[in-house]
Structure 1
């Protein structure tokens, strides 16, 4: 608990380290009254944005005007988008609706309005673009009159999480949670097979237990692959819908465009590829999940699997990026090893001991060694979780007060409360249950507290999924 408290204090002690994507300014600005319709709209953001995940719509007196091109302002200005407009726009009121995504791939939306009091001649509309690119953003706004009194600026009209955004709904959270459960099941089965079982079976003792445990671990890994594959399509669907939230229909081409576009798309593709590779390993390990080549293929896929949530989550947008990515990668591996290992202990290790011929309620000689082996792995995983969790909290929060003043911070507090419960039960199992097993090796002493600990761990994954699908 002291370590957990320290992880909460670090953000306040070290100060701000995060910068959130939001619209900083636009040309025209919200509420501007122009002498003639502009030939382009410029949007400047607080961070770099992803061009492939950006859209701009302009609604005018005659309906929607087609944006003739969307580009960056310059090669070194990926924080400014420029949308070219037709030259034959009439005078009247215009409304601009924009969608983009920051480095973390989360969609943000906004809108603003301006008015053109006159028409723009064809010769005037064909001003050289090179001269416009060389001018500062503010200079383009010099021709516009001051915003009308009471008009809202871009930051007021821009919404980083608009009402009804599907990417923040239950469906997106559920798909992300299923994705995390798949990762936990795969990493847990592999860590249990390679880190826990060898300690128990050293010296050739209890070989039947090893065979039975491997078969059950193989099943858990197969269920994990199934969860990864099933969660992939809805994750892509909700990501696409979040970027097309202002439109009634989503073109089929959008799914192919976003799959692989930017860090989020690359992370999604990597996760799907790793799931297929691990699934191939599961098939190769048949019929009883003992064949070593199959497990080696699974391990190869699992080695790259944690990179998928790193690329498709908040870590990729944090600075310093390398530190954020490494901390998130280790955090995922540690969580999978701990929670997934506990899952395997309950549904693979203990059943294998029972199947070895020892009846429930009687002494089980191999039980203390199995629990001790898992405890050593779990303690190391918890230490890494606390360390990387502290780093992630520092990088994600700009100030300590955001823990209770923002919806994201309050959700983080709820997650930390659940994690504190998991840590408490883990400490109880390590400090009291494990020593008791040396005197009375009965699985009944462990099952109840370990099951509650696993349930809280799964609840923490639900809250993690909720946090990740929401922009900071």
Structure 2
């Protein structure tokens, strides 16, 4: 059957083939597949990215400022307690402080608690009958931005034992990866729920009657609830250093719910229910005209939809769009109260992230929280609307809408919203990058900086693809005229939107890993490279005479609390390395009254010596003391100052 329609602008006739039954899967199944692909891709990227970042040394926000006993201290009698003081408030768990004896066996000690009511100081009482030997204290706390921070130090009673107990700082990467995947799913879920909801209910006049957009939004609410529940259950084992099998431990769940993060996650679940009810009331039920249109109505639709010649510039008649009828709920509540509740709920939803992440630590918290909230909200509106648009563009309603006429009113509106969102993302992202990175050197030297550079590259790719979609919208929106080759333009739009969705998923995945990575500002310290002259008063003769007038170069990396490596070069006045009979070292604190900590120095090559296990207990001003013997009777002492950040 062929239907002939008179063209509106040119007065010619064009043959419109009768509709052919759609060979693609049913719309519900296709929408579900597209959404599932988005979530699986995000989860896979997180699993791939997180181990690579976590494999490198990470220094989170809460630093151990001092400990009692001091790392490496030798005591004449057992201490009564272990005390740890951090640079910020921390949350304690049931296993925040552990004590291991010289054989590696965990000993029973008092429960970790706050000392003197101070949230930045933890203590635990120790047994009074500790035998002689070296003991290891392992600690694990949660900082204010929900990062889990762990470390260990040792002390000896009487005399050091031959071997210290090994400490396993982590029970594995399964729990952190599960938590990161949960965060990625929650990020995508909030984007589809809020951004998709704005697109369906606010930008697309026919969106309330289209089941495709509604399915995307409801899948977002479901994913948001599921991802939040996963993070809530995984946080307890993550903070306590337990395996994944402990996710349903009531004690761990109760401990999580008593923290700032637990409060935020619980509030997020409540907001999912509230906003879901608002969306359900706001969009109502789809009308029978578009909500459940039979497949055999293609012919009738063809009679009301004009053909668009491929070789002509054509005016798109608005009057040919199908008219839908809805039973709109009456009253002012739908027009004012529901939007107000939705706006307040969306803002509160973003705060459940920003009040428990990087924005809560560091400088300018008063500005970081609103900036991070705006950054997240802009990302949510853009990505959620984009995925909803992509689903409707890639899975159109059969073949009866080849020119995307039903989406035409939403395209220019979403284009303007996306431009506004990207402006907000750029401005807030620039500030947040400066706040969390600090220096140019930290971009390439830290996992956080490298992830941030990767995210920037992906965002630039999104902008390049978005420019093509905007050209399509502008050409189509100008005087109501479509491009000459409308079919090719629509295909380009579909490819552009699909590419934006793929890159958007990459951005969300990188963001989920970034929030689990210590910011570069706190994890980066420039390596120490200091050269001091060799003492002129030393009587270096014979093969060591070249040291007179020479120098001592010391390189320390990473110059942070924890394990460090010091390379020591003894250079003669002729620039050559000069070996010495013996060299020993010790760490001395320049701003605290703590005993010197011995440092083992070994020869790597003649004139080059290495301290491969130099442990710096806490940040501050330190000095590496070197005792250099140049003969059987002559020895000199040199101090090389440095700062541990």
State TM-score, norm by structure 1: 0.75
- Alignment correspondent of 1:319: 363
- Alignment correspondent of 1:221: 217
Please report how far the alpha carbon of residue 259 of structure 1 lies from its aligned counterpart in structure 2 after TM superposition: 3.0
Please report how far the alpha carbon of residue 376 of structure 1 lies from its aligned counterpart in structure 2 after TM superposition: 0.9
Alignment of 1:117-156 (within 5 A): 117=158
**SS across alignment from 1:259:** helix
Q: Contact 1:61–1:93 (CA<8 Å) still a contact in 2?
A: yes
- Alignment correspondent of 2:90: 49
- Alignment correspondent of 2:261: 264
Alignment of 1:87-236 (within 5 A): 87-117=128-158, 164-169=172-177, 171-197=178-204, 201=205, 209-213=206-210, 215-236=211-232
**SS across alignment from 2:112:** strand
Please report how far the alpha carbon of residue 158 of structure 1 lies from its aligned counterpart in structure 2 after TM superposition: 11
> Structure 1 residues 53 and 368, CA, compared in 2 at 3 Å: closer, same or farther?
farther
Q: Distance in 2 between matches of 1:54 and 1:381?
A: 44
Please report how far the alpha carbon of residue 247 of structure 1 lies from its aligned counterpart in structure 2 after TM superposition: 7.2
| Structure (1/2) with the larger helix percentage | 1
- Alignment correspondent of 1:400: 440
- Alignment correspondent of 1:331: 375
**Residue 81 (structure 1) aligned with residue 116 (structure 2):** no
- Alignment correspondent of 1:426: 466
**SS across alignment from 2:390:** helix
Please report how far the alpha carbon of residue 371 of structure 1 lies from its aligned counterpart in structure 2 after TM superposition: 1.5
Q: Distance in 2 between matches of 1:210 and 1:224?
A: 16
| Structure (1/2) with the larger strand percentage | 2
My pick for the range that moved more, 57-66 or 92-101, is: 57-66
Root-mean-square deviation (Å): 3.3
Corresponding pairs, count: 401
Deviations 1:433-459 (A, max 9, x none): 223334326533411111101110111
**Residue 463 (structure 1) aligned with residue 470 (structure 2):** no
> Structure 1 residues 462 and 364, CA, compared in 2 at 3 Å: closer, same or farther?
closer
My pick for the range that moved more, 434-443 or 399-408, is: 434-443
Q: Contact 1:167–1:470 (CA<8 Å) still a contact in 2?
A: no
> Structure 1 residues 371 and 53, CA, compared in 2 at 3 Å: closer, same or farther?
farther
- Alignment correspondent of 1:40: 81
**SS across alignment from 1:279:** helix
Q: Distance in 1 between matches of 2:131 and 2:366?
A: 49
> Structure 1 residues 47 and 300, CA, compared in 2 at 3 Å: closer, same or farther?
closer
Q: Contact 1:263–1:316 (CA<8 Å) still a contact in 2?
A: no
Please report how far the alpha carbon of residue 22 of structure 1 lies from its aligned counterpart in structure 2 after TM superposition: 2.2
**SS across alignment from 1:112:** strand
> Structure 1 residues 193 and 92, CA, compared in 2 at 3 Å: closer, same or farther?
same
My pick for the range that moved more, 64-73 or 462-471, is: 64-73
Q: Contact 1:52–1:258 (CA<8 Å) still a contact in 2?
A: yes
> Structure 1 residues 249 and 210, CA, compared in 2 at 3 Å: closer, same or farther?
closer
**Residue 435 (structure 1) aligned with residue 478 (structure 2):** no
Q: Contact 2:187–2:508 (CA<8 Å) still a contact in 1?
A: yes
Q: Distance in 2 between matches of 1:108 and 1:369?
A: 51
Deviations 1:354-405 (A, max 9, x none): 57x9531xx5556554211111111111111111111211221232211110
Q: RCO (CA 8 Å, sep 6+): is it higher in 1 or 2?
A: 1
Q: Contact 1:19–1:46 (CA<8 Å) still a contact in 2?
A: no
Q: Distance in 1 between matches of 2:404 and 2:469?
A: 17
Deviations 1:313-370 (A, max 9, x none): 2222232212111111111110011111112223347867x57x9531xx55565542
Q: Distance in 1 between matches of 2:518 and 2:171?
A: 13
Q: Distance in 1 between matches of 2:394 and 2:447?
A: 40
Deviations 1:51-87 (A, max 9, x none): 3587101123694333324333344x43322222233
Q: Distance in 2 between matches of 1:469 and 1:235?
A: 12
Q: Contact 1:19–1:47 (CA<8 Å) still a contact in 2?
A: no
**SS across alignment from 2:286:** coil
- Alignment correspondent of 2:603: none
> Structure 1 residues 249 and 88, CA, compared in 2 at 3 Å: closer, same or farther?
farther
Q: Contact 2:171–2:241 (CA<8 Å) still a contact in 1?
A: no
> Structure 1 residues 420 and 167, CA, compared in 2 at 3 Å: closer, same or farther?
farther
Alignment of 1:442-461 (within 5 A): 443-461=490-508
> Structure 1 residues 53 and 372, CA, compared in 2 at 3 Å: closer, same or farther?
farther
- Residue ranges of structure 1 left out of the alignment (5+ in a row): 1-17, 119-146, 152-156, 202-208
Please report how far the alpha carbon of residue 465 of structure 1 lies from its aligned counterpart in structure 2 after TM superposition: 0.8
- Say which of 370, 373, 389 aligns to 1:345: 389
Q: Distance in 2 between matches of 1:343 and 1:452?
A: 11
- Alignment correspondent of 1:377: 417
- Alignment correspondent of 2:110: 68
> Structure 1 residues 265 and 241, CA, compared in 2 at 3 Å: closer, same or farther?
same
- Alignment correspondent of 2:286: 288
- Residue ranges of structure 2 left out of the alignment (5+ in a row): 1-58, 288-325, 520-645
Deviations 1:152-209 (A, max 9, x none): xxxxx999x958344543x232211111111100111232145423xxx5xxxxxxx3
Q: Contact 1:318–1:324 (CA<8 Å) still a contact in 2?
A: no
Q: Distance in 2 between matches of 1:286 and 1:55?
A: 50
**SS across alignment from 2:515:** helix
**SS across alignment from 1:104:** coil
- Alignment correspondent of 1:137: none
